[in-house]
A and B are shown apart, each in its own frame.
Chain A
Amino acid sequence: MSQILVLVDHVEGSVRKTTAELLTIARRLGEPAAVFVGRGWDAAAPVLGEFGAARAYVVPAEDADDYLVVPKVEALQAAVQAAGAAGDVAAVLIPSSTDGKEVAGRLAVRLGSGIITDAVDVRPADGGIETTQAAFAGGYTVAAHVSRGIPVITVKPNSAAPEPAPTQPDVQALDVTFSAAAKAARVVERKPKAKTGRPDLSEAAVVVSGGRGTGGDFGPVEAFADALGAAVGASRAAVDAGWYPHSNQVGQTGKQVSPQLYVAAGISGAIQHRAGMQTSKMIVAVNKDPEAPIFELADFGVVGDLFTVLPQATEEVVKRKG
């Protein structure tokens, strides 16, 4: 069976949900082969085995995270070579994060391969691999395939439900010395973000977002999010005003999310924002303005003040869960 390489998305060995999703997809296409770069292999190994990694290529390089993007590219190149020696490599799957897409882009150039980004589905078809993407803020669904080289495909979070398929990976350690090019962009400082205890915005099944209507007070938004076990998002207006970090921004110039449920509170629903959440399965909106464009998208909307509606909704959710 052909190997499907999956770049493991982790922080010091703590494996993120996207990796489990990609391994699940990889099992449809061939034999999943995880590629682990950096520190923390011992912590990661059991998780990778649980989600079906038949093989693992490990590049334990201590300095991989000291430089931007390129060390992962070179590690993947080494893995492709090692995998090629063992058999056929039918694809490389990489999570659609900011770094992931850049790793994928550079890998595609080095391998002489076609690249498809932000796939929401990946399936075998006609002896090859077919991807599905959403284009133009979800206005179109596109079916495509890579026609040259080993397909390099980045996959959006929430594209597959992770399926455990416990196995013991066949592990191969690779000794990779990074080139001068890999060390050209130096990470001189890294501040881990304070853990909020909330799910990651790009991975969450439920997102509750606040906009200009919060006036800077995200309290009701956060409380409702916590009642639902949701991630918190923010409109561009809210981020520009300094009320929430850019990494929580949902929109054309922020993250594009497609959760099961998206709650937009105090967000007017300008195209810029819609581009970031239009493909959510269910959309609920709360806004004082009955003419707000967000209501055109919403499956359910409340015209009212989020400072009364959300706390009441939060109380109701807690009551029902209790």
Chain B
Amino acid sequence: MKIVVCVKYVPDAQGDRRFSDTDHTVDRAGTDGILSELDEYAVEEALKLAEANPDTTVTVLTVGPEKATEALRKALQMGATDAVHVVDDALHGSDALATSLVLAKAIERLDHDLVLAGMASTDGGMSVVPAMLAERLGIPQVTFAGALTLDGSVVRIERDGDTSTEVVEATLPALVSVTDQINDPRYPSFKGIMAAKKKSVHTWSLADLGVEPGQVGLAAAWSAVDGVTARPPRQAGQIVADDGDGGRKLVDFLAGAKLV
């Protein structure tokens, strides 16, 4: 079985995340980036499937700037087989539509029985790329999985919706996105870190995928940011110790703010 896992290199939420002053794009170069936390669950699920199904390979794929290889490296250290990095200056400022287009072209170049993704990136948090990928690849989308089983060529998931829980199934090839409920991602072992040094990272450009530069990037985006304003950080307000009346003081405060 051939599994492709789409991952994203994102600014670390613990660090200082910001936008460029010049073009309002996310500043990916100036801050430390990491493998998006939600993608770790997708990588882990792929590795578990590989362990349960002999002759399975796990290829990690990302579209991102030079430093995005760090995200791929983490996945390789966890145990992925190999990686593909689509990198091209023309991609700067791409919207979700362009990103999904490029990812789809890359996936089409790879054998794939199962495409895995996280439920959202931790920077944009749009949750649209997996669905767009399924649309572009013409394969079923089976998304927001909290549990997954593979029975021959049928993938079956459980998802926790707002008003109900659902069991959804589809026949491979399919696209599955997973939530942080599905597993506990492993930490790379020392052996995994050493083995990753020998694993292949293939670098592809837009030309390799047959995508014109004019189809992607900031100028080609179908939405535009008109302005970005930093909001002042919240200040701590009034903190009291509970001297036996903490609950009452809390309600006094709410009443004062007309919330009760």
Partners in one complex: yes
Taking beta carbons and an 8 Å cutoff, which residues of A are in contact with B?
Answer: 11, 68-70, 97-99, 101-106, 108-110, 113-118, 130, 135-149, 181, 184-193, 200, 202, 206, 228, 236, 239, 245-247, 252-253, 256, 260-261, 271-272, 275, 278, 282-284, 286, 290, 295-305, 308-317, 320-321
User: Chain B nearest CB: distance from A75 CB in Å?
Assistant: 15
Q: Are B136 and A109 in contact (CB under 8 A)?
A: yes
In the A-B complex, list the 7 residue pairs whose CB atoms are closest, starting with the nearest. A304-B242, A312-B247, A114-B222, A105-B128, A184-B140, A313-B247, A102-B131
Alpha-carbon gap, A204 to B73, bound state (A): 41
List, in ascending order, chain B residues with CB within 8 A of A315's CB: 247
0/1 string, B230-258, CB within 8 A of A gives 1: 11011011111110011111110111010
Q: Are B224 and A147 in contact (CB under 8 A)?
A: yes
Q: Can you offer 21 A-B residue contacts whose CB atoms are under 8 A? A: A68-B142, A68-B143, A98-B119, A114-B95, A140-B228, A142-B24, A142-B227, A145-B226, A147-B221, A148-B222, A184-B170, A188-B169, A189-B166, A193-B164, A247-B160, A260-B259, A275-B13, A296-B234, A304-B242, A316-B250, A320-B260
List, in ascending order, chain A residues with CB within 8 A of B54's CB: none
List, in ascending order, chain A residues with CB within 8 A of B221's CB: 114, 147
Q: Which of B94-111 contact A (CB under 8 A)?
A: 95-97, 100
Name the residue of chain B whose CB is nearest to the CB of A116.
B223
List, in ascending order, chain A residues with CB within 8 A of B123's CB: 136
Q: Are B14 and A187 in contact (CB under 8 A)?
A: no
Interface majority SS (helix, strand, loop, mixed), chain A: mixed
User: Chain A nearest CB: distance from B18 CB in Å?
Assistant: 8
- Given contact pairs A275-B13, A284-B250, A302-B246, A114 touches B223 in the complex (Cβ within 8 A): yes
Residue among A117, A147, A271, A321 having the largest count of chain B Cβ atoms under 10 Å: A117
Residue among B125, B129, B164, B250 having the largest count of chain A Cβ atoms under 10 Å: B250
- Given contact pairs A191-B164, A247-B160, A302-B246, A139 touches B17 in the complex (Cβ within 8 A): yes
Partner of A245, one of B24, B160, B229, B253: B160
Alpha-carbon gap, A266 to B60, bound state (A): 38
Q: Which of B47-85 contact A (CB under 8 A)?
A: none
User: Chain B nearest CB: distance from A232 CB in Å?
Assistant: 14
The answer to whether B38 has its CB under 8 Å from any CB of chain A is yes
List, in ascending order, chain B residues with CB within 8 A of A68's CB: 140-143, 168
0/1 string, B191-231, CB within 8 A of A gives 1: 00000000000000000000000000000011111111111
User: Chain B nearest CB: distance from A248 CB in Å?
Assistant: 10
Name the residue of chain B whose CB is nearest to the CB of A311.
B247
Q: Are B165 and A193 in contact (CB under 8 A)?
A: yes
List, in ascending order, chain B residues with CB within 8 A of A260's CB: 259
User: Chain B nearest CB: distance from A243 CB in Å?
Assistant: 13
Name the residue of chain A whose CB is nearest to the CB of B141.
A185
Q: Are A299 and B237 in contact (CB under 8 A)?
A: yes
Alpha-carbon gap, A117 to B129, bound state (A): 12
- Given contact pairs A68-B143, A136-B123, A302-B250, A320 touches B255 in the complex (Cβ within 8 A): yes
Q: Are A98 and B37 in contact (CB under 8 A)?
A: no
Q: Are A316 and B247 in contact (CB under 8 A)?
A: yes
The answer to whether B135 has its CB under 8 Å from any CB of chain A is yes
Q: Are A117 and B181 in contact (CB under 8 A)?
A: no
List, in ascending order, chain B residues with CB within 8 A of A186's CB: 168-170
Q: Are B140 and A253 in contact (CB under 8 A)?
A: no
Q: Are A300 and B168 in contact (CB under 8 A)?
A: no
- Given contact pairs A104-B128, A253-B37, A297 touches B234 in the complex (Cβ within 8 A): yes
List, in ascending order, chain A residues with CB within 8 A of B130's CB: 102
